[in-house]
Copies of this chain bind each other. A is one copy, B any other.
Amino acid sequence: MAKAKGKKRVYFFGNGKAEGSAKMKEILGGKGANLAEMMNLGIPVPAGFTIATFVCDEYNKAKGKWSKDLTAEVDKNLAKLERAMDAKFGDPEKPLLVSVRSGAAVSMPGMMDTVLNLGLSDKVVEGIIAKTGNARFAYDIYRRFIDMFGDVVMGCHHEHFEAVLDAAKKKAKVENDNDLSDSQLKDVVEKYKAVYKKHVKKPFPQDGKVQLAHAVNAVFGSWNAARAIKYRQLNDIKGLLGTAVNVQAMVFGNMGDDCGTGVCFTRNPSTGKKEFYGEFLMNAQGEDVVAGIRTPVPLKQLSKVMPKAYKELTGLMTRLEKHYKDMQDMEFTIQEKVLYVLQTRNGKRTAEAAVKTAVDMVNEKLITAKEAVMRVEPNMLDMLLHPSFDPKAKRNVIAEGLPASPGAAVGQVVFNADVAEKWRDDGKNVILVRIETSPEDIGGMDAAKGILTAKGGMTSHAAVVARGMGKCCVAGVSELNINYKTNKMTIGKLTIKQGDWISLDGSAGQVILGRVATVEPKLSGAFGKFIAMTDKFRKLGIRTNADTPEDSKRARKFGAEGIGLCRTEHMFFEGDRIWAVRELILAADDYSTMLDETKATEDKKEIATIRKNYATAIKQFEGALKKLLPYQRSDFEGIFKAMAGLPVTVRLLDPPLHEFLPQDKKAQAEMAKRLKVTPKQVAGEVEKLHEFNPMLGHRGCRLAVTYPAIYRMQARAIIEAALKVKKSGKTVLPEIMIPLIGSVKELKIVKDDVLDEINKVFKEKKTKIAYMIGTMIEVPRAALTADEVATEAEFFSFGTNDLTQMTMGFSRDDAGKFLGEYVAQGIYENDPFQVLDTTGVGKLVETGTMLGRITNPKLKVGICGEHGGEPKSIDFCHKVGMNYVSCSPFRVPIARLAAAQAALK
């Protein structure tokens, strides 16, 4: 606490001047900093003050006790606010009413709790009625306040209040809250207070200062609520001290028909189109718009209803966007025709909008290309790289709603967030369907492919969160009739139950029955321009991991500059090939004994005898390889053609042989029948090849040490294919990669065999082609001895999947059981299989690169683990000075952007 002494805890804004500014987000939170900024700019902002973020940390550390300094500063600022507003807490004549809102340095929509109309009491309400003559208004804000304060601050659930209101409406036979009479509302207020007393065990507090202290504490407390923690986890938000608290004089959008409230964006947050965008409600308070209780009206209509306010608002929108040089998301309230701005912030936007606004703003000379590149979070692009609905596919549209968050989602209907998480864990695609979503649903929303709600507008919880997550959302489909108890929904006569398939078009707002066919995404329009813009900044090459000509072509369209990892094991499974592989495996043991025996002698006669003894095994083993050769050759031909002119790194066979054998009895019997052996022999082979820790077993180049003929066949296939494609006039740049190397001698032995085979092919074909031989660095020992390994390698490719497994001692297949706990407890910042562990694994990557380059300054270094498509890891690869990263085709654009950002940082 000592270090906080002397620190300013509370910052005032009012009378056209503020103590803070937009630069002070860390201290004031985003909301507070922007309120201060706007105040200084002369924007009409109600006065107020902000309690700094570190006070939240102080408060939580002091277990909920206020320091003397805090109490004094809050009192002082409250007095200042009273003076500025010419009003007073609890004064029926000139009552001060305030809103209390959270606001951290990073926006966390829906996570924090807001209280409006604080300062109301029985006495003050009477004063307001006397002053405004509007009893309905006075009772309405009072009942709202009791509800919000009770729910948000004191933990008395909203539903208890809602029940009272519903009963009142039923009794009065009206449909809307607005239709209740003054006296009916007054009665509601009394009943609300009774509900409050029943659940809180104390009467509703009548002292504004007491209300304020409770509300501030609630904001602070909500920082560590389970759902807030979960949100920060999901969104990888770290290092913040807490939330600020904004206490601001109330303005009212619900004082009558010359009042209103709304939300607006300076550009369309879904598409990025440059247009004034938003929605509003007349005679309403802010939460009515956001909460989705009433469906709001498009902003455009404000120009008809209140042209002056509309003109003033759009003027301010333009001004603020220019000031912040970014698309603004604003909240406004019109009280008796006077416009107030309650909040502005950089608007959340979809990936499509982010990309379009970035490109547009460069064209508008609002920002530079560098700024534009830095403005789009690379992972966001993932959304643009998902399939969209095939325009030719038939659509059975069963309902339409608001296009709340674009994208195409196909999944099984689920009505509950927990079920959504469970089904996702079971590998299902789910669509979460809710009447409206709430912060408790965050986990389920994250688990769902798409979100569908019956209530709520474009700025409802569902819409905002879905856009933040880059998830497809259709909101406010009023025809939906959802029954949580029966897990069914009806649209007219149609009944859809849990588990039924539907499709959502988030851009069109359509709900479609069944599964709509999808097509692949394309790099075109603003997206294409944006990605092209990133290329001039990056230093890293971007390659792709692709095993087929199709993948290669796709990646090339996305801008891949070569293949960084072509796995050959997949090729061994296809069609008839697996049978050749299995024949080979059955003969492998005898074949290897034969090799050992021939190694032990130099006598040619003896060798001949040995080979005669093992003639069957030799025929079977080498025969199987001969069968595989033409397949492999044509595999590589296809890939070389698709990648003509670009380098192709082919990794030789990597998995242990047992992966090619069937594990279940039935398949084993089939194999036995086909290969004319007994099922017992097959089972015996499976047993013999079984490994306790296959990750660390007989695989990769270790297979080649035992059976050199396998890599020889692959090397031959690669070079023969390369020569053939070259002959057709195309440029082929083959790079042969030897996996799982642990020592330079191992590499040399395996490489010498490969070289020997390649030279044989050159001799046979009487022509040559340039090629490279390198190795994967995935065993820690290889990284530690990279100076030695580099004497035999022309390139290194860090296989960070396996390197992570071995360096951290985590089996990727098993670690799921406890890794979540590890990330939750902060032992590791991220799942190390998603984001490269730069502290530990990264040290080996750095060491390996450095040592390798000491031996061979021209050593080409890349990464081909899944981290090669992950922005933070790409940033690390850039810092290490790699030549390229390689990732899956769909992540190539993301990698291009991330590489550009890494270079610009």
Contact = CB atoms under 8 A, between A and B. Distances in A.
Interface string A342-361: 00000000000000000000
A740 B809 contact: yes
Contacts of A818: 698, 702, 705-706
Contacts of A602: 224
A696 B843 contact: no
A32 to B, nearest CB: 26
A788 B840 CA distance: 11
A814 B691 contact: yes
A903 interface: no
B746 A822 contact: yes
A781 B832 CA distance: 12
A802 B743 CA distance: 18
B811 A691 contact: yes
Given A780-B844, A781-B808, A785-B843, A822 B695 contact: no
A226 B785 CA distance: 32
A566 interface: no
A784 B696 contact: no
Contact of A693 (B695, B702, B740, B749): B695
A805 B779 CA distance: 10
A176 interface: no
A687 interface: no
Q: How many copies does the complex hold?
A: 2
B805 A781 contact: no
Interface string A792-808: 00000000001001111
Given A601-B226, A826-B745, A697 B811 contact: yes
A784 B846 CA distance: 12
Interface in A757-785: 778-781, 784-785
Contacts of A815: 696-697
Contacts of A743: 827-828, 839-840
A426 to B, nearest CB: 15
Interface residues of A, number: 57
A839 to B, nearest CB: 6
A1 interface: no
Nearest to A690: B814
Contacts of A807: 779-781, 784, 806
A814 B697 contact: yes
A670 interface: no
A825 interface: yes
A841 interface: yes
A537 interface: no
- Which among A743, A802, A813, A827 has the highest number of chain B CB atoms within 10 Å? A827
Contacts of A746: 822, 827
Interface string A1-29: 00000000000000000000000000000
B781 A742 contact: no
Contacts of A822: 705, 746
A749 B600 CA distance: 55
A601 B155 CA distance: 14
Contacts of A691: 811, 813-814
Contact of A814 (B601, B696, B778, B779): B696
Given A692-B694, A694-B692, A843-B784, A809 B811 contact: no
B696 A805 contact: yes
A695 B230 CA distance: 31
Interface string A816-831: 0110011001111000
Interface in A216-247: 224, 226, 229-230
Contact of A806 (B226, B778, B806, B828): B806
A540 to B, nearest CB: 24
B780 A809 contact: yes
A400 interface: no
Interface in A729-746: 740, 742-743, 745-746
- Which among A229, A693, A810 has the highest number of chain B CB atoms within 10 Å? A693
B784 A844 contact: yes
A110 to B, nearest CB: 18
B749 A827 contact: yes
Contacts of A808: 742, 779-781
Interface in A630-644: none
Contact of A839 (B693, B698, B785, B828): B785
A837 interface: yes
Contacts of A693: 693-696, 805, 811, 813-814
A837 B742 CA distance: 11
Nearest to A224: B602
- Which among A229, A749, A784 has the highest number of chain B CB atoms within 10 Å? A784
A596 to B, nearest CB: 8
A602 B828 CA distance: 24
Contacts of A742: 808-809, 840
Contact of A692 (B706, B811, B840, B841): B811
A752 to B, nearest CB: 11
Interface in A668-725: 691-698, 702, 705-706
Interface string A301-336: 000000000000000000000000000000000000
A811 B696 contact: yes
A810 B779 CA distance: 9
Interface in A843-883: 843-844
Contacts of A802: 809
A532 to B, nearest CB: 39
Nearest to A781: B840
Contacts of A809: 695-696, 740, 742, 778-781, 802, 806
A810 B695 CA distance: 9
A695 B702 CA distance: 19
B749 A825 contact: yes
A740 B839 CA distance: 17
A799 to B, nearest CB: 11
Contacts of A702: 818
Contact of A696 (B695, B781, B827): B695
A226 B606 CA distance: 12
Given A230-B600, A696-B696, A746-B822, 11 more contacts: A596-B821, A691-B814, A695-B696, A743-B828, A746-B827, A778-B809, A779-B809, A781-B809, A781-B840, A784-B844, A806-B806
26 contacts: A691-B813, A692-B694, A693-B693, A693-B805, A693-B811, A696-B811, A698-B818, A702-B818, A705-B818, A705-B822, A705-B825, A706-B821, A742-B808, A742-B809, A745-B825, A745-B826, A745-B827, A746-B827, A779-B809, A781-B807, A781-B837, A781-B840, A784-B840, A802-B809, A806-B807, A806-B809
